[in-house]
Structures are given as C-alpha cells and as structure tokens.
Amino acid sequence: MADGTREARVSHDGDGDPIGAAVFLTPEDLAALGVDTEAVNRVQYTVINGRLHLGSMTGGEVDTSDKAEAGAQG
C-alpha cells in the first residue's frame, strides 16, 4: 500500500475461531508514537474504548504519553 498503511491478517484456530491479529510496528512507527527504542526493550499496550494505547518500559515504570495513542480501525 503506497501510503504506508499496512494490513494484519486475523488468525484462526483449528476450529476456525478467530484468535487475533499480529501488528508489527517499525522503529520509525515507535519513534512517532514517542517510544525511545534506544532506551527501552519493551512496549506495553492495551485497548480502551476502541483505541490502542502504548506505553514504553523504562526502569520498571510505564510512559503513557499522549503521543503513544493510535486510533483503532475496523
């Protein structure tokens, strides 16, 4: 996709039930969301009210700045 949009395939178990979708964030994506990839080795995430929230792990604390929020698309 020319505009930088990517897709994630929904995976299904052996019974055909959906189990989730893996989303890959590049270092550039993480930087744009306020994550310093040189300073952290983990990113926490949660979905609240239909929005994906990210937080980076630094010294046991989680930074959940406003930059680290992305809209969920359906």
Domain extents in the chain: 10-71
Count CA atoms closer than 13 A to 68's CA, side-chain side: 19
Cα dihedral 53, 58, 25, 44, rounded to 10, equals: -40
Confidence tier at 57 by pLDDT (50, 70, 90): low
Model confidence pLDDT, tens digit, residues 10-33: 999 999 999 999 988 889 988 888
Distance CA 63, CA 54 (A): 8
- As a whole-number percent, the residues of the chain with pLDDT over 70 amount to 72
Q: Looking at the whole model, is its pTM more than 0.75?
A: no
Where does the pLDDT of residue 8 fall: very low under 50, low under 70, confident under 90, or very high at 90 and above?
very high
The burial of 56, by beta-carbon neighbours within 10 Å (0-12 exposed, 13-18 middle, 19 or more buried), is given as buried
Q: How far apart are CA 27 and CA 33, in angstroms?
A: 10
